[in-house]
C-alpha cells in the first residue's frame, strides 16, 4: 500500500551562528535562530511499495522538475537514519518539493527543505508502524533534520530556537529546541527583510565552509565567542536590550564572514553591494535612532532585522535600498510559528 505525507516547514536565520561541525553533524558551538514565516518549503513524500527488483529508490522533484542533483543528500540522510526509519527499504520514495519564496531568491532552502522532509519521513514511519505521534514528535524530527543539514534542526519550532548545549538551553548537540522562556515583548513578531544583493549560486558551499573550521587558526576562539554570545543573547532577549541585540547580531554576522576570509583556502561571499547595504543600514540607524540592524547568512544577501512596531518607519528605507542595490528584489519576512501539516493533494 502506498502512503503519503505532506508538510510545510520554515527557513530560519541564525543570530548566533553555527559554523564548524564534527562527528555526525554535531555543532562545534551553540547557535540561536529566528524562525521565519514567509520563506518556507512544502514537501510531499509518497512511499510506493517496491515490487520485484523495483525502480529507483528515491526520486526528487522541485517545482515538478526532477532534480537528481539533490538525491545523493537525501539518500545519505536515509542511510544515517537506518532502522529508525526503516520503511524506505521496502518502498521507493517520490519526493515533491516547492519553495514559497522565488526559486532563485538566493535564500538557503536546505533548512526548510530538510525540516519538511524529516517531518514527512517520521510521519510515514509512524504510519507504517501503526503508531500514534509521540509527544516528542518534533524533537525526533529535529534530530532527523539535523542529519540532513545542521541548521535544519532549528526549523522545527517557531520563534527563537537554539541548537547545541549551553547553560539555560533545552537543546542538545543532537537536536534543536525553542528557548525555554518568554522573550521580551519588543522581540515578538520581529521582522526580517531579506535584501537580495546577488542571487547567483554561491561559490563555496556551507558544508565546505564548516569543514574549513576543522583546522582554522581562529576556530577555538570563535567557538568560545559563540558560546559567550549565546549566553549574552539569552539575557538580551529576556531583558529587552535593543542596543545589545543590534551589537550582537552584527558582530556575529561579521565574525561568520571573517572565518571564511581567514580559513586556509580563504573566500569571500560578501559582494560590494553587501557592504554598501550594511553602510546604508548603519547610516539610517544613526540618523533616525531606530533599532534597525543587519545579519548575514552564508551568502551575500543582507537580512535587515527590526521590531514589528517600527515597520511603517522602515518601509520607505527598505524600498529605496533594495531599488538602489538589489534591483528591487527583497522578501519581507517576519518571525513565524514553525511547521504545519498539509493535506495531500494526490
Ligand atoms: C547557521 N549557516 O547557523 C549557519 C550560519 C549559514 C550561516 O548552518 O553542512 O546548510 O548542511 O550542516 O546547515 C548553513 O549550513 O550546513 C549554516 P550543513 P548548513 O545557520
Yes or no: say if 112 and 151 are a contact pair by the CB < 8 Å rule.
no
What residues have CB less than 8 Å from 9, skipping those under 6 apart? Answer: 40, 41, 43, 112, 113, 115, 116, 119, 155, 156, 338, 339
Interior angle at CA 144, CA 85 and CA 203, nearest 5: 125
What residues have CB less than 8 Å from 115, skipping those under 6 apart? Answer: 9, 10, 41, 141, 142, 145, 152, 153, 155, 156, 339
C-beta 149 within 6 A of ligand 1: yes
For residues 120-135, average pLDDT: 97
Higher pLDDT, 1 or 188: 188
Residue 261: per-residue pLDDT: 98
CA-to-CA dists, residue 258 to 19, 36, 136, 298, angstroms: 11, 25, 38, 11
Residue 8: per-residue pLDDT: 97
CA-to-CA dists, residue 158 to 10, 25, 133, 162, 240, angstroms: 9, 22, 19, 11, 19
C-beta 151 within 6 A of ligand 1: yes
Higher pLDDT, 54 or 101: 101
Q: Is 256 helix (H, G, I), strand (E, B) or coil?
A: helix
Higher pLDDT, 101 or 42: 42
C-beta 14 within 6 A of ligand 1: yes
What HEC string does 118-173 produce?
HHHHHHHHHHHHCCCCCCCHHHHHHHHHHHHCHHHHHCCCCCEEEECCCCCCCCCC
pLDDT digits (tens, 9 = 90+) for 286-314: 999 999 999 999 999 999 999 999 999 99
Residue 105: per-residue pLDDT: 56
Residue 345 pLDDT > 70: no
Residue 52: per-residue pLDDT: 80
**pTM for the full predicted model:** 0.96
Work out the percent of the chain whose per-residue pLDDT is above 90.
90
Residue 202: per-residue pLDDT: 80
Calculate helix-pair angle for 137-148, 110-129, nearest 10 degrees.
130
What residues have CB less than 8 Å from 136, skipping those under 6 apart? Answer: none
Residue 91: per-residue pLDDT: 94
- Set of cell numbers at residue 60: 526528487
C-beta 161 within 6 A of ligand 1: no
pLDDT band of residue 346 (cuts 50, 70, 90) is low
Please give the distance, rounded to the nearest whole angstrom, from the Cα atom of residue 3 to the centre of ligand 1.
Answer: 31
pLDDT digits (tens, 9 = 90+) for 190-212: 999 999 999 887 888 999 999 99
Residue nearest to atom 4 of ligand 1 (CA): 18
- Set of cell numbers at residue 166: 549551553
Residue 6: per-residue pLDDT: 98
All structural domains of the chain, each given as residue ranges with its CATH number in brackets, are: 1-346 (3.30.230.10)
For residues 236-257, average pLDDT: 98
Residue whose CB lies within 8 A of the most ligand 1 atoms, among 114, 143, 206, 230, for a mutation test:
206
Amino acid at each position: 500500500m502506498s502512503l503519503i505525507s505532506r508538510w510545510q516547514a520554515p527557513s530560519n536565520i541564525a543570530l548566533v551562528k553555527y559554523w564548524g561541525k564534527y562527528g555526525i553533524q554535531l555543532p562545534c558551538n551553540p547557535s540561536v535562530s529566528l524562525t521565519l514565516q514567509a520563506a518556507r518549503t512544502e514537501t510531499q513524500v509518497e512511499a510506493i511499495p517496491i515490487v520485484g527488483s523495483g525502480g529507483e529508490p528515491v526520486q526528487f522533484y522541485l517545482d515538478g522538475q526532477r532534480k537528481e542533483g539533490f538525491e545523493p543528500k537525501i539518500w545519505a540522510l536515509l542511510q544515517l537514519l537506518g532502522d529508525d526509519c526503516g520503511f524506505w527499504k521496502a518502498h521507493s520514495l517520490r519526493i515533491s518539493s516547492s519553495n514559497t519564496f522565488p526559486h532563485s531568491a538566493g535564500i538557503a532552502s536546505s533548512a526548510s527543505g530538510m525540516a519538511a522532509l524529516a517531518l514527512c519521513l517520521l510521519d510515514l514511519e509512524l504510519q507504517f508502524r501503526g503508531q500514534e505521534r509521540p509527544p516528542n514528535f518534533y524533537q525526533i524530527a529535529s534530530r532527523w533534520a539535523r542529519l540532513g543539514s545542521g541548521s535544519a534542526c532549528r526549523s522545527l519550532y517557531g520563534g527563537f530556537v537554539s541548537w547545541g548545549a549551553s547553560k539555560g538551553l533545552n537543546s542538545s548537540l543532537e537536536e534543536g529546541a525553542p528557548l525555554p522562556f518568554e522573550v521580551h515583548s519588543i522581540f515578538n513578531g520581529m521582522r526580517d527583510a531579506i535584501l537580495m544583493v546577488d542571487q547567483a549560486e554561491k561559490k563555496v558551499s556551507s558544508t565546505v565552509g564548516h569543514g574549513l573550521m576543522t583546522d582554522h587558526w581562529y576556530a577555538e576562539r570563535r567557538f568560545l565567542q559563540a558560546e559567550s554570545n549565546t549566553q549574552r543573547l539569552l539575557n538580551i532577549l529576556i531583558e529587552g536590550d535593543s542596543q545589545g541585540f543590534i551589537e550582537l547580531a552584527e558582530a556575529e554576522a561579521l565574525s561568520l564572514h571573517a572565518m571564511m576570509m581567514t580559513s586556509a583556502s580563504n573566500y569571500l561571499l560578501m559582494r560590494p553591494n553587501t557592504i554598501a547595504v550594511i553602510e546604508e543600514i548603519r547610516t539610517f540607524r544613526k540618523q533616525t535612532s531606530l533599532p534597525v540592524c543587519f545579519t548575514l547568512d552564508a551568502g551575500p544577501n543582507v537580512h535587515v532585522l527590526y521590531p514589528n512596531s517600527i515597520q511603517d518607519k522602515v518601509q520607505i528605507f527598505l524600498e529605496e535600498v533594495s531599488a538602489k542595490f538589489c534591483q528591487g528584489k527583497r522578501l519581507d519576512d517576519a518571525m513565524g510559528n514553525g511547521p504545519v501539516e498539509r493535506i495531500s493533494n494526490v
